[in-house]
Amino acid sequence: MKWIFERGKPADFYEYSDSSNSKKLTPISSDETIRGLLAVSAAIRLGLENAETFTVQMEEPENLLLITTERGQLELNGSGQDWKLFGGQVIMLQPSDMPCQLTGGEKSTVILLSCTGTLVHQILAEKLKDGRIFCHDGAAYIIQTLHALKQDETMPEDISVAIYRLLLKLYVSADWYKESKGYPLLVQTAIEIIHHEFAMLDGVEEIADRLGITSNHLIRLFSATVGVSPGKYLKRRKLECASQLLVQPEMNVTLAAALSGFSEANYFSKIFRREFGVTPRQYRESHCPIVITDSIIKQLLDESALW
């Protein structure tokens, strides 16, 4: 693994040795059996000012590189393609994506982890066939792994456990982020936020703030890519949830509306009728209970038992 500084300066390293214009991190010591299954071979945390660059070359074919931005934005260029990461997002790159140049935004903090082992490829081999793997909220797992690396009392297997959790997170995210969709990463991230967190979202402004962009920019890009505005996409996701909850035994209109993210029952009834042509009560009376397969909606239904 080779880290090359062009203008950026390192903020923090886990084990490293100097060699001219590069910083090469020594492999993390670990039991040989565990290291063969899953281990972190290199790690770095650095700060990049606006337009500062950092280049990484990964020559080991068995290694995979994880990159996240702890703070700020980050632009990446590798194998002739460009990507942009926002705070909390993670991208996993393969040796075929190298060399990869990172360009920082204003006061960006970046973490890179190189992981290796047979377990990495067993978990992610099929997912990596579609290209890179993205995750919109995996930074916490990388930060936990980095923290474990820096603790003298940490056992090597604890480091492997931390990276294993991250790999499982990436495995699930890979089903959402498909480069074959042709959607920009920014739009895919907004879609996943809506899909998983619709019940807690107030509107487009909240999503835009989390992505570090303006609402107008998100609306323009999302609408041009998906064909509908993010606000309408969010509303449809909430109504989809409400329609499935409404037909469940012992469910009422007010509770279904609240669980789906609608704070006002009257407003909910109005837009529900506009979408389905009947009131929520009429919909409930004319439909039989269904088996909910959407894990997010199922979780909301399970939580309703506590109300």
- Greater pLDDT, 219 or 88: 219
Query: In this structure, what token pair is assigned to residue 154?
Result: 């940490």
**pTM of this structure:** 0.60
pLDDT at 231 over 70: yes
pLDDT at 212 over 60: yes
pLDDT value at residue 35: 63
Contacts of residue 276, Cβ cutoff 8 Å, sequence gap at least 6: 239, 243, 283
pLDDT at 136 over 90: no
pLDDT value at residue 31: 59
pLDDT value at residue 277: 92
Average pLDDT (229-257) is 91
pLDDT at 88 over 50: yes
- In the sheet that holds 64-71, the strands lie side by side as 9-13, 39-48, 108-116, 64-71, 90-93, 133-135
pLDDT value at residue 64: 85
